[in-house]
Structure 1
């Protein structure tokens, strides 16, 4: 199983989302011995933000692009290729001000590409090209945004992830929340991280399932994990 693991937290060793993504891969390796990880740290290798040159190039037919246009799209092309080559995607990020880090938004803007990660059917409908991949989002949140919380309606991250990756063919992501992770309440913080690890254990077991020595196609439920920076 080839996994594209993407980290987006500005923190390093103190990052909860990074720690949880490492934890998940450790548990998954206990389930199967064929794990190959392609790692991308968006804080070190940040995609360029969309500019006029990118916009013009991406909406120009491939056979009509100039060498300069192809050069502007080269990094984006490479990111799309990495996504499409993976069997599973593990995205880890903190929630910053109710939504995603800017580096991950830049990543999304670089991977939503016509005729690469999505295509148009003859009837004009969009066909996302990531429908076969398992998907896990590990996000971290300081506040408690679970149903019934005063902050519930301020969650702009979950719907944004659902919309962007749903467009690319990820139909049914699951969300596992570890929240709140405020330092003010260490007990709640500890409990939130433990809940996340328990749910990640379950996801690792699910992804580890095989049928006749192969990965089970029926076990390809996408997962999103919500946890802090």
Structure 2
């Protein structure tokens, strides 16, 4: 299994989302899952923000693109291929002012590409090309946005991630949200991180089980064994 792991926190060693994403991968290994990681830190390798040249090039038919257009799209093309080659995604990020970091939004803009990560069917439907991948979003939130909280209605991060990746074919992503952190007392922060790690344990167990089943099925096919 190939996992594309994307971190999006501006913090480094103090980042809770980074720590949780690495915790998840360690737990997945503990479950016996065999995988390789394609790692991207979008705070370091930030995709360029959309420009007029990018917008024109991406909606120009491939056979009509000039060398300059192809050069403009080269980085985006490469990112799209990395997503298409992955079997699973682990996206980790903090919530900034109720939504996602701008570096991760730039990532979404770069990989939402007609003819690559989504195609237009003959009947007019848009068909996302990321429907086979498992997807886990790990987020850290300063405030408590769980149902019943005064801030529950201010979560713009979850619906925007569901919409953006749903368009690309992701139907049932997993979310693990560590909250409240920044604006909570030490006891509440500790409890929030413990809850998040427990939820990540469950996701790791699920992914580990499905990975083992997939490996067994592949072994049976290669061995000529059928059910």
Using the size of structure 1 for normalisation, the TM-score is 0.92
Provide the residue aligned with 1:221 in structure 2.
none
| CA displacement 1:110-152 (0-9 Å, x = unmatched) | 0000000000111010100000000000111000000011001
Deviation at 1:197, TM superposition (A): 0.2
Give 1:120's aligned residue. Answer: 120
Distance 1:116 1:193, change over 3 A: same
Q: 1:35 to 1:108 in 2, by over 3 A?
A: same
Q: Structure 2 CA distance, aligned partners of 1:214 and 1:28?
A: 17
- Give CA deviations for 1:42-92 in whole Å, capped at 9, x if unaligned: 011000000000000000000000000000000000000000000000000
CA distance, structure 2, for counterparts of residue 50 and residue 214 of structure 1: 43
The CA deviation at 1:175 is 2.3
Instruction: Give the number of equivalent residue pairs.
Output: 216
Q: How far apart, CA to CA, are the structure 2 residues paired with 1:215 and 1:25?
A: 23
Aligned-pair Cα RMSD in Å: 1.3
- Structure 2 residue 28 is the aligned partner of structure 1 residue 28: yes
1:37–1:13 distance in 2 versus 1, CA, 3 Å: same
The equivalences for 1:90-105 within 5 A come to 90-105=90-105
Equivalent residue for 2:76?
76
Q: Which residue of 2 aligns with 1:146?
A: 146
Q: Could you say which residue in structure 2 is the equivalent of 1:157?
A: 157
| 1:34-113 matched pairs, under 5 angstroms | 34-113=34-113
Structure 1 unpaired stretches of 5+: 217-229
Give the SS at the match of 1:197. helix
**Structure 1 residue 183: deviation in Å?**
5.2
More helix by share: 2
Could you tell me how far 1:32 is from its partner in structure 2?
2.4
TM-score normalised according to structure 2 size: 0.92
Hey, what's the Cα distance between the residues in 2 that align with 1:61 and 1:154?
Answer: 40
